[in-house]
Amino acid sequence: MEQEEQSLESFLTWGAQLGISDSSNTKQPQHPPSSCLGSSLCIAHFRHSGGRGLCAVRDLRKGEIILTIPKSALMTRESVMEDKKLCVAVNRHSSLSSVQIMIVCLLYEMGKGKTSRWHPYLMHLPHTYDILAMFGEFEKCALQVDEALWVTEKAILKAKSEWKEAHALMEDLMFKPQLLTFKAWVWAAATISSRTLHIPWDEAGCLCPVGDLFNYDAPGVEPSSIEDVEHLLSNSSFHDAVVSNGNKNVMVDAEKLDPLSQRLTDGGFEEDVNAYCFYARAHYKKGDQVLLCYGTYTNLELLEHYGFLLQENPNDKIFIPLEPAIYSSTSWTKESLYIHHDGKPSFALLAALRLWATPQNKRRSVGHLAYSGSQLSADNEIFIMKWLSKTCDAVLKNLPTSIDEDTLLVNAMDNTQDSFTFMEITKLMSSRDEIFSFLEAHNMKDVHSFNDIFLSRKARRSMDRWKLAVQWRLRYKKVLVDCISYCNETLDSFMK
For the chain, how far is it from start to end, CA to CA, in angstroms? 65
CA distance to 47, 320, 339, 476, per residue, from 390 (Å): 40, 12, 14, 16
Give 46-68 pLDDT, tens digit per residue. Answer: 876 667 888 999 999 998 899 99
What's the mean pLDDT in 73-98?
94
Range of lowest pLDDT (113-127, 369-383, 386-400): 369-383
pTM over 0.85: no
Give 174-231 pLDDT, tens digit per residue. Answer: 999 999 999 999 999 999 999 999 899 999 999 999 998 888 887 764 433 334 334 3
Average pLDDT, the chain: 82
pLDDT at 258: 36
CB atoms within 10 A of CB 220: 10
Q: How many helices (H) and strands (E) does the chain have?
A: 18, 13
Range of lowest pLDDT (70-84, 96-110, 302-316, 418-432): 418-432
pLDDT at 437: 76
Residue 172 to residue 107: CA distance in whole angstroms: 13
**Torsion 277-114-246-399 (CA) sign:** negative
260 pLDDT band, cuts 50/70/90, is very low
248 pLDDT band, cuts 50/70/90, is low
Look at residue 43 and give its three-state secondary structure.
strand
247 pLDDT band, cuts 50/70/90, is low
